[in-house]
Structure 1
Amino acid sequence: MKTKIFLIALLSILISSCKKETKKNTSNLESSISIKYAKGFSLKVEDGVKKLIINAPYQNTNKTFEYIISSESLESKRKINHIYVPISKMVITSTTHVPMVELLGEENSIAGFPYAKYVSSEKTRALIDDGKIKEIGKESSLNTEILLDLQPDLVVGYSVSSADKSLTTIEKSGIPVIYNGDWLEETPLGRAEWIKFFGVLYNKEKEADSIFNIIEKNYLNARALASKTEKQPTILSGAIMNKDIWNLPAGDSFVAQFLKDANLNYLWQNTEGKGSLSLSFESIFDKGANADFWIAPGYFSSKEQMLQNNQIYQQFDAFKEDKIYTPSTKKGATGGIIYYELAPTRPDLVLKDLIKITNPDLLKNYELTFFEKMQ
């Protein structure tokens, strides 16, 4: 319910601000949309032609995909690498896409989604339950037959390491496919800025820009607030995932950036890498046994579950002092973890959560959105 209130409040602010602005020439507006943080896409207007450029949308590739954005009628002959907007019927393939579509007020355009039980949002969940959004298979195996029957205007897909075979089949059938690489962004605001990608597809660039500006302002204000305190609690993260190997965020990772912006002393902040580290338990214990807080201990949702997995966790101070916080306990009606769906769109709320947990006096009236103290 609280997540829903945040989304409604943000839309209200947007609508209010839009009413106060005067209308601008469309071509000038399109040319003025800038990408400040995201590296995975860009928007250009050249000689009156709008182009959406997707850069390296999956790992281990240098491929760039360029799409011409056109407002021509969908009844006209489709052309390769042309996307006709606004999209009225879309298939999306990641829960991270859902909040961005909702903030633009376009959830009714979603026609299909894979493994829909992961979706937590109340609005989109209701559409799924009413049969208005069709199940199109699992996240790693799309049901191309169902998808083709839907005949969407566009499929927004993603892939980890190469072009997805199911999406390639869909594309060959004549349905446009575009890859979304938001998950590869290296900064919290870079991920959130992908709402501008959806703004292009719905011909709502102005609205997307306004929404992102609000999120950016909230994030930067929270970061500035955290920077004023000299108190920098030490942070441990991750857990043992395989034998005695402990996985935790690397120093240049997306998660480490959150901890840095919250003005926290993440004990592995000086390590290299943008993904995760795999370290021995001994090295973790030597450095992190006395950490003030333990943030996101792997997939665990309770202290009892942790001990069932490995009794060694109780040797850490953060475990003894009940200072473990996890996002895995806040779930939607069908079990989807809200953090994984909404956090990429609302990094400002993630940052506020971290500040509230570690320096609560800085945000006395704020209630946690994603994290909870582990019981």
Structure 2
Amino acid sequence: MSLHYARGFEIGYFDGYTRVLVYNPWAENEIMARYYLYREDSSLLPKDGYHVRIPLSSLAIASCTHVAFLDLLDELDLLRGVCNASMVYNPVLRQSINEGQVADLGDAFRIKREILLQIRPQALMASGYNQYDEHLQAISQAGVSILYNNEWMEQNLLARAEWLRFVACFLDKDRLADSLFRQTEANYLRLKELASSAAGSAPVVMSGDNFRGSWYMPGGRSHQAQLFRDAGASYFFENDSTTGSIALGFEQVVRDFNQADIWIGASNATDLNALLAMDERYVWFKSVKNKQVYSYQGRMTADGANDYWESAVVRPDSLLADFIKLFHPELLPGHEWIYINQLP
């Protein structure tokens, strides 16, 4: 299968099996995991990787970002366990958790192995990290396949969404994933073209907030900065080459961003008064004075589960529509924000 955006995995079709390679994001050209997917026991498989029978009969996940992939493919019923269950937003899955049909596996970095081995899923989907994980190794040795879903390391919003193809391979739903992703891609590119037609000057945007003395801004090559560009905003670091976050001191943020028109991603404050109570110096920013401060709390449960970390990963077109509505509301007059909300 030809991938258009994702760089972290590769899919190949062979006689009797499908090969899925997951690359190590921290070591160029190094393979993190090699999977051979088969349907028939008689299949002759190479011995240099994990053998996984498809479609999967059951699954556990270690990250809430994986929920939306399964939901889009109509496979939530496969789930037997999930880490950090209180952080799940999806209403259907929350009900299954509350009814005891899906187990809470605890923290993703300290998975409750005894519970996982009791429910015995065929596989555990987990995020890979640049370190040895003894919990995942022990789970693998106990016979549960570890599927490394590293969508979070991609630098492009459509690349993150394209990991839908990776998930679909294990569910034998490759064609459905191809159709769904192509639709998302087409919507995204259409919205990007719409944003490029905006009249007037681009609004200047700032992001993040002050956390223990450091203010983390998206690097110029990060997917967040890409979102600002594609939605038609101007961003101070848009020509920067950093793919992750940039740590800044408060004084530098005041110097470079005090005249920004819009502030997005401002902490977990529910209103401007609460935001100023966290740091009264925020009042120095034009965006605060003009009440142009926004956060990603458009879809949240009472206990803090946020759909921004779930469905926005697989629906970057919906996220882009939110940002176009924020930066150029005249272009999408009928759109209602999904993930964004304004601090009153």
**TM-score range, shorter-chain basis?**
over 0.9
1:212 corresponds to 2:177:
no
Q: Distance in 2 between matches of 1:153 and 1:73?
A: 16
Alignment match of 1:354 (pick from 323, 326, 329): 323
Alignment match of 1:184 (pick from 143, 153, 159): 153
Q: Alignment partner of 1:225: what SS?
A: helix
2:203 partner amino acid: P
Q: Distance in 2 between matches of 1:276 and 1:34?
A: 30
Aligned to 1:69: 37
Q: Is the 8 A contact 1:121 1:332 kept in 2?
A: no
Alignment match of 2:208 (pick from 218, 230, 238): 238
Q: Distance in 1 between matches of 2:301 and 2:72?
A: 18
1:164 partner amino acid: D
Aligned to 2:164: 195
Runs of 4+ aligned residues of structure 1 deviating over 6 Å after TM superposition are: none
Shift in alpha-carbon separation, 1:341–1:110, aligned structure 2, 3 A: same
Shift in alpha-carbon separation, 1:246–1:335, aligned structure 2, 3 A: closer
Give me the TM-score of the superposition, normalised by structure 2.
0.93
Aligned to 1:130: 99
Q: Distance in 1 between matches of 2:241 and 2:253?
A: 16
1:315 corresponds to 2:277:
no
1:165 partner amino acid: E
1:53 partner amino acid: L
Aligned to 2:75: 106
For residues 158-207 of structure 1, what are the alpha-carbon distances to aligned partners after superposition, in whole Å with 9 as ceiling and x for unaligned? Answer: 13322321110011112211211010010000000111111101000001
1:336 corresponds to 2:300:
no
Aligned to 2:275: 306
Aligned to 1:42: 10
1:258 corresponds to 2:227:
yes
1:242 partner amino acid: R
Aligned to 1:294: 263
CA drift of 1:299 comes to: 3.9
Q: Distance in 1 between matches of 2:249 and 2:103?
A: 44
Q: Is the 8 A contact 1:92 1:112 kept in 2?
A: yes
Q: Which runs of 5+ in 1 are unaligned?
A: 1-32
Shift in alpha-carbon separation, 1:357–1:297, aligned structure 2, 3 A: same
Q: Distance in 2 between matches of 1:346 and 1:333?
A: 23
1:95 corresponds to 2:79:
no
For residues 201-226 of structure 1, what are the alpha-carbon distances to aligned partners after superposition, in whole Å with 9 as ceiling and x for unaligned? Answer: 10000011111111111111110000
1:49 partner amino acid: Y
Q: Distance in 2 between matches of 1:91 and 1:152?
A: 6
**Higher mean Cα deviation, 329-338 or 225-234?**
329-338
Q: Is the 8 A contact 1:233 1:358 kept in 2?
A: yes
Q: Alignment partner of 1:344: what SS?
A: helix
CA RMSD for the aligned pairs? Answer: 2.0
Q: Alignment partner of 1:53: what SS?
A: strand
**Higher mean Cα deviation, 280-289 or 190-199?**
280-289
Q: Alignment partner of 2:314: what SS?
A: coil
Q: Distance in 2 between matches of 1:291 and 1:333?
A: 31
Q: Is the 8 A contact 1:90 1:155 kept in 2?
A: yes
Q: Is the 8 A contact 1:60 1:161 kept in 2?
A: no
Q: Which runs of 5+ in 2 are unaligned?
A: none
